[in-house]
Chain A
Amino acid sequence: MTFATTLIVSGETFEMAYRFGQVAERELAGIADAAGQAACIERLWNGIGELGWMGTAIPEEAGGAGGDLADLAAIASGAGRAGLALPVASSCGVVPALLAGNPVLPDVATGAARVAVILPGAAQDEDTGGLRIRLLNDGLTLDGVVVGVETPPNPTHALVAAEGAEPMLLLIPASSPGVQTELYQRIDGRLAADWHFSLVTVDSGWIVARGPEVPERTAAARDLGALLTCIECVSAMGALIEQTIQYLLNREQFGAPLATYQALRHRVADMYVEYENLRGITARALRAAQSGEPSWQAIAFAKLRLGEAGRAVAESAIQCHGGMGMTEELPAIRLCKRLMMAEFEFGNRVFQAARLLAADGRTSTAAAD
């Protein structure tokens, strides 16, 4: 009997997302050229739009399915297990949450509005303290460059948390004068973009929120993104371990399956322990988020763990595969790349560690269950 890891989320929605993800993964892996892959990602985006993924947690009156975090978790888990190359956490979770009540929401639900989120602290080649709003000739202007922002294909909007005298959350049409994007594909197949804002005149219609509520809302949205990313990666890691086990059972060297060598058996056992722990800490964060008292600390700990465990497990899986681990041929190695990239989404280890250290009473919260 082949070994199957315990899933973090199961059920019909999970199964549906997983099936979609698997077909998508195979299709994308079969395409060698960049243009063909871009076209494929576009089709996949339309596919999840038709399936209503982006509308999962959007209220029915705004064109969504009116679901909750459990539904989002099921989608993230299914997509993650297949290593689906779409920005699930961002497009299904973070964007609808930040745009709650906004008139664009029905278009978000269908996938017609393709929104890339630029949170505070987005990476910059030259640290200018983020995207800043300034008063210039009586009008507000936005200026700055951010890089490596995960994005749906052909983004129609940037949802920008801008810094300045008064922080603002702006929904900026990508076609606005002074806005430029450069799109590319990451090693986990997902799209990312650099966004250039050159003295963009802020239209008052773009303002989604302003003032002190902006940092609060963006922090909560980042946590949702981090939580969904952890769920995705638990699933990806489970699938990776299963595939590594299969590989070691099937490949023979020195007249015996690699699975008979204790060094590799122990390594996989270590990977499995990492997996179970990540699953545990992520389930804990999910449970906390679903309770009346959401805990950012629980999410920070889960994401911190993901940074360590994700890299360790991905590296171990590559090692177990030998030379094959260095190729792009196997789905297992594509899952490794997904795990490696997740570290750089919604706050890396240092980000999570720093905020845990800075917070008062963190130990008591961490211990409470």
Chain B
Amino acid sequence: MDAAIDYQAFRAEIRDFALAHCPPDIRAVVASYRKLSRKVWYPWQRILFEHGWGAPSWPKEFGGTGWDPRQRVIFDEVMAECDCPPQYHHGLRHLGPVIIEFGTPEQQKRFLPGILNGEDWWCQGYSEPGAGSDLASLRTTARREDDHYMVDGQKTWTSHAHESDWMYTLVRTSKEPKKQQGISLLLIPLNLPGITIRPIRTIDGWHHVNEVFLDGVRVPAANRIGEEGQGWTYGKFLLERERLGGANIAPHRKALERVRELVATELAGEGRRAERELLQHRLLLAESELLAASELGRESVEAVMQGNALGMLPSVIKLGTSVTMQTISQIALDAVGERLAPRFRRVDGAGPNAEEPGIEWVQNYMYARVRTIYGGSSEVQKNVIAKQLFGI
């Protein structure tokens, strides 16, 4: 940690760069709250990489920036404020740190550069039809055969599998009495024979999740990260690394401001005054929640900077902000609903399901439902918090 860091200047530097170099068409996509795809993420990752900012959270020797936690959060905040694609790719945020910590030097050399420059795109193959909240009950098996694993099973909800090159996958390599044991972390190229990827149609109308069927897929044993049977530990390590992720409230504030503008323009005029004021009141309540959350976020960053434990803060922030984001999306829906909800329709095939300006507010309302489901559902988060509160 360098006490001499001028965080204000740092923020300004990031901001200037973002505004000068993030292509307007990409920022327009982000600003319209559409679900992002590789097509939008990649070019920006490439630009950041060439500037030396490809991996804000990685150590310098692996091509990272070596920034401290506060700088990393500032970077994320500025990205959101400037409508740059958030750097939440699975490879960069999730897998990279695991490979850095537990991978062999060969694996680091092989996988990290592609993640850093954005040439390789990764997805996360954890969940299965029978293993959601209870991830440890996963059943996809990997049987060792010489220097390969034979992988059989099914993953589901795999975000972006259809546009990914690789899937980092939790598989069962042995049956142990405790189900958290016997799980390994395998890196599977998605072009191998025996892999079928099928889209899942979601209520938001975007295509982002998939089923991934693995049917006798031969994966080199060299693609296993760390020890056989220790996959659960790596998975948890990965989650720990992510605990500061919630400290960045900038995207939420941005969403709030946009909806406030929407309410003002959509419900302009005396005739709609009652509606407008009602929604404005609800927005204020949402804003107060976000103000609280950003203070907690600041505290989290301080705690990490001081090397202190975060305790329940990340769970508290996630639980609160996921609901606030849902509230904001409800307010937007109420503002445009009569006009636009009927027109939220799916156009078959790929592509956006409607071109109607403003339709993304409806779409986002539907999408926002997932915020209390994925990344540890609200019920699971509450179980975690309650366990701490009661000690039992």
Query: Which residue numbers of A lie inside 8 Å of B, CB to CB?
Result: 32-34, 123-125, 127, 147-150, 184-187, 192, 194, 252-255, 261, 263-264, 311, 315, 318-319, 322-323, 325-329, 333, 336-337, 340-341, 343-344, 348-350, 353-354
Contact A150 B203 (CB under 8 A): no
Interface residue ranges of B371-388 to A (CB < 8 Å):
372-374, 377-379, 382-383
- What residues of chain B lie closer than 8 Å to A252, measured between beta carbons? 130
Q: Which 8 A-B pairs have the closest CB atoms?
A: A148-B342, A253-B134, A192-B342, A123-B339, A123-B338, A350-B275, A254-B134, A328-B201
Residues of B within 8 A of A255 (CB): 134, 137
Shortest C-beta distance, B181 to chain A (Å), equals 16
Given the complex of chains A and B, what is the CA–CA distance between A319 and B322 in angstroms? Answer: 13
Whether A147 touches B343, Cβ cut-off 8 Å, given contacts A254-B133, A328-B201, is: yes
Q: Please, how many angstroms separate the alpha-carbon atoms of A33 and B137 in the complex?
A: 36
* A341 to B269 alpha-carbon distance, docked (Å): 25
Given A186-B345, A318-B369, residue A344 in contact with residue B338 (CB < 8 A): yes
Take A124-B339, A148-B341, A315-B369 as given contacts and tell me if A323 and B348 are in contact as well, using a CB distance cutoff of 8 Å.
no
Residues facing A in B347-372 (CB within 8 A) are 347-348, 366, 369-370, 372
Identify B203's interface contact among A148, A185, A192, A328, CB under 8 A: A328
Interchain pairs with CB closer than 8 A, number = 117
**Complex Cα–Cα for A328 and B366 (A):** 12
Residue pairs across A and B with Cβ atoms less than 8 A apart, 9 shown, are: A123-B338, A123-B342, A147-B343, A192-B343, A326-B202, A336-B203, A340-B341, A341-B342, A348-B337
Chain A residues within an 8 Å CB radius of B382: 263
Give min CB distance, B351 to chain A, whole Å. 13
**Interface residues as binary, B124-146 with A (CB distance below 8 Å gives 1, 0 otherwise):** 00010010111001000000000
In the complex, the answer to whether B157 meets A344 with C-beta atoms within 8 Å is: no
Q: Which residue of A lies closest to B330 (CB)?
A: A311
A340 to B347 CA separation, bound complex (whole angstroms): 20
Indicate whether B9 reaches chain A with its CB closer than 8 angstroms. no
A-side contacts of B369, CB under 8 Å: 315, 318-319, 325-326
B134 adjacent to A150 (CB under 8 Å): no
Chain B 192-213 interface residues, beta-carbon cutoff 8 Å to A:
200-204, 209
Alpha-carbon distance A319/B183, docked complex (angstroms): 28
Q: In the complex, which of the residues A318, A319, A322 contacts B132, with contact meaning CB atoms closer than 8 Å?
A: A322
Beta-carbon contact of A344 and B342 below 8 Å: yes
Q: CA separation between A355 and B379, bound complex, in Å?
A: 39
In the complex, whether B58 has a CB less than 8 A from a CB of chain A is: no
Is the pair B373, A263 in contact by a Cβ cutoff of 8 Å?
Answer: no
State whether A327 touches B342 (Cβ < 8 A).
no
A350 engages B340 (CB within 8 Å): no
Q: Is the CB of B202 within 8 A of A327?
A: yes
The answer to the question of B166 belonging to the interface, with a C-beta cut-off of 8 Å to chain A, is no
Q: A255-B134, A328-B201 given. 14 additional CB < 8 A pairs?
A: A123-B338, A125-B339, A148-B340, A186-B343, A254-B133, A322-B133, A323-B156, A323-B157, A327-B201, A327-B202, A328-B202, A329-B201, A344-B341, A349-B334
Contact of B377 (CB < 8 Å), options: A124, A322, A328, A348 = A322
- Cβ contacts under 8 Å, A264 to chain B: 379
Interface size grouping (class) on chain B: 35 or more
B residues sitting closer than 8 Å to A (CB atoms) are 127, 130, 132-134, 137, 156-157, 200-204, 209, 269, 271, 274-275, 278, 326, 330, 334, 337-348, 366, 369-370, 372-374, 377-379, 382-383
**How far apart sit A311 and B130, CA to CA, in the bound complex (Å)?**
28
Contact A350 B278 (CB under 8 A): yes
A252 to B341, CA, bound (A): 35
Residues in B whose Cβ lies below 8 Å from that of A344: 337-338, 341-342
Distance of B199 from chain A, by nearest CB (Å): 11
With contacts A263-B379, A322-B377 taken as known, whether A186 is within 8 angstroms of B134 at the C-beta atoms is no
When distances are taken between beta carbons in the complex, the residues of chain A under 8 Å from B203 are: 187, 318, 326-328, 333, 336-337
Chain A, residue nearest B347 (CB):
A34
Knowing A327-B202, A348-B338, the reply to whether A34 touches B348 (Cβ < 8 A) is yes
What residue in chain A is nearest B326 (Cβ atoms)? A315
Residues of A within 8 A of B133 (CB): 253-254, 322
Query: How far is B190's CA from A332's CA once the two chains are assembled, in angstroms?
Result: 33
Residues of B within 8 A of A318 (CB): 203, 369, 373
Please name all residues of chain A whose beta carbon is closer than 8 Å to the beta carbon of B202 when the two chains form the complex: 326-328
Chain A residues contacting B346 (CB-CB under 8 Å) are 34, 187
In this complex, what residue of A is CB-closest to B367? A326
Task: Name the residue of chain B whose CB is nearest to the CB of A307.
Answer: B334
Contacts of A149 in B (CB 8 A): 342
B341 proximity list for chain A (CB < 8 A): 148, 186-187, 340-341, 344
Expressed in whole angstroms, the minimum distance between the Cβ of B378 and any Cβ of chain A is 7
A319: which B residues are within 8 A, CB to CB? 369, 372-373, 377-378
CB-defined contacts of B127 to chain A, threshold 8 Å: 323
Give, as a whole number of angstroms, the nearest-CB distance from B167 to chain A. Answer: 17
State the CA gap A255–B274 with chains docked (Å): 50
Complex alpha-carbon distance, A344 and B341, angstroms:
8
What separation, in Å, do the CA atoms of A225 and B241 have in the docked complex?
54
For A123, A185, A192, the residue with the greatest tally of chain B CB atoms inside 10 Å of its CB is A123
Do residues A187 and B157 form an inter-chain contact, with CB atoms below 8 A? no
- Bound-complex Cα distance A319 to B382 (A): 14
Give complex CA distance A2, B51 in Å: 62
B376 to chain A, nearest CB (A): 12
Whole-angstrom CA separation of A272 from B342 in the bound complex: 28
Please give, as numbers and ranges, the residues of chain B lying within 8 Å of A32 by CB-CB distance. Answer: 348
Q: How long is the Cα–Cα vector from A270 to B367 in the complex, in angstroms? A: 23
Q: Which residues of B contact A340 (CB under 8 A)?
A: 341
Cβ contact of A253, chosen from B132, B204, B348, cutoff 8 A: B132
A187, A254, A315 — which one has the most chain B CB atoms within 10 A of its CB?
A187
Q: How far is the CA of A147 from the CA of B330 in the complex (A)?
A: 21
A315 to B365, CA, bound (A): 11
CB distance B330 to A326 under 8 Å? Answer: no
Task: Please indicate the chain A residues that have their CB under 8 angstroms from the CB of B204 in the complex.
Answer: 326
